[in-house]
Amino acid sequence: MPELPEVEVIRRDLLPHVQGRRIQSAKITEPRLTRRHGTPHGVESALFGRRVGALRRRGKFFIFDLGQDSLVVRLGMTGQLLWSEDGDGFRPDQYTHAHLVFNGRGTLYYRDIRKFGEMFILPTDSVEGTLGVGVEPLDPGFAPEVLAEICQAATRIKPLLLNQAKIAGIGNIYADEALFRARIRPTRRAASLRQEEIRALRRAIRQVLEAGIRHRGSSISNYRDACGQPGRFVALHRVYHRHGESCFRCGTLIRRIVLGQRGTHFCPTCQR
C-alpha cells in the first residue's frame, strides 16, 4: 500500500516527465475516482490544456500544480500512477480508470484495482486547508517538541501514528517498523511515552521513511513505481508481515494483533 515513501518515489520519477508540460487531454472512466469533489467530466475539463507547474507531495497526496487550480491524487490501497512514453511501457487494462495525455509525448495512467484512491481538483490556495493533514515527518518542523505535543493524547501510539491529521504520510507498514526500531509497543498510551522514547520514536520514524525512499518503497500487495517496478524495502522489514517468524534482534517470535482495525506486528520482548 502506498505510504509516504512510495508516493515520494513516484513523485520523483514523474517530475521530469510532467513538469512544465501541457495536458493535451484527460479521460476519467471510473466515476468513483471523483467521489470527494466534482465529477469525471468536471475534472477532465479542469485539466484540459493546463500546464503542470510543480508536482508536490503532502502526506500520501500528490499535488499537481496547474496554476490557479491543482489536481490532487491519492492512491488508496492499490492505486498506481504509471508513466508511458508513446508505444513504450505500460499498456492500459481493465483496472486503468484515468489517463492524462501530455503534449508532445507521454501519457500518465491511473490504475487502481480496488478503487479506494481518488482524484479531484481544488483551488491551489485551498489545498492545504482542505486536505487537513498534519506535520510532514521529514520536514525540519517535525521537532521532538512537536511530536511530544502530538503525543499528549489518551489514545494508543500506533493509531495515533496512522492519524493523517496529526502526522502526514505514515501508514500501517512504516508505523509498525518505526515502533519496532524505537522499541515501543504499539499498544502504549501516547501520553505515557517518556521524553527519550519520544526522541527515539521521532528518529525511528524519520529513519524508516528515509530508508523506504532510498530502497524505492515497500512492495507489499501490488505497489509499483511510476515505471511499474517493485520496491525493495520489503526485504528490510523487521516486523511487518513477519508474525510467527523470529525477531532479528532477540529471536522471540513476532506477534500479530489487531489494533484500531489494523493488523499490527511487534516483538513482545524488544518493544515495551
Residues marked active site are found at 2-3, 60, 262
Residue 171 found at the interface with DNA (CB under 7 A): yes
Residue 199, exposed/middle/buried by CB under 10 A (0-12, 13-18, 19+)? middle
Between CA 186 and CA 53 the distance in angstroms is 41
As a whole number of angstroms, the longest Cα–Cα distance in the chain is 58
Per CB under 7 A, does 228 bind DNA?
no
Binding status of residue 96 toward DNA by CB under 7 A: no
260 touches DNA by CB under 7 A:
yes
Among 27, 92, 116, 232, contact with DNA (rule: CB under 7 A): 116
Q: How many residues contact DNA, by CB under 7 A?
A: 28
Q: What are the cell numbers at 40?
A: 469525471
**How far is 91 from 88, CA to CA, in rounded Å?**
8
Residues 30-89 that bind DNA (CB under 7 A): 32, 59-60, 74, 76-77
Question: CA 222, CA 95: separation in Å to the nearest integer?
Answer: 12
Q: How far apart are CA 217 and CA 180, in angstroms?
A: 18
- Beta carbon nearer to DNA, 220 or 236: 220
State whether residue 99 is helix, strand or coil: strand
Nearer to DNA, 87 or 94 (CB): 94
Q: Does 219 bind DNA (CB under 7 A)?
A: no
Pairing of strands 79-84, 107-112: antiparallel
Written as one letter, the residue type at 6 is: E
Window contacting DNA (CB under 7 A); options: 9-17, 62-70, 134-142, 153-161: 153-161
Q: Which residues bind DNA (CB under 7 A)?
A: 1, 32, 59-60, 74, 76-77, 113-116, 153-156, 159, 162, 164, 171-173, 220, 241, 259-263
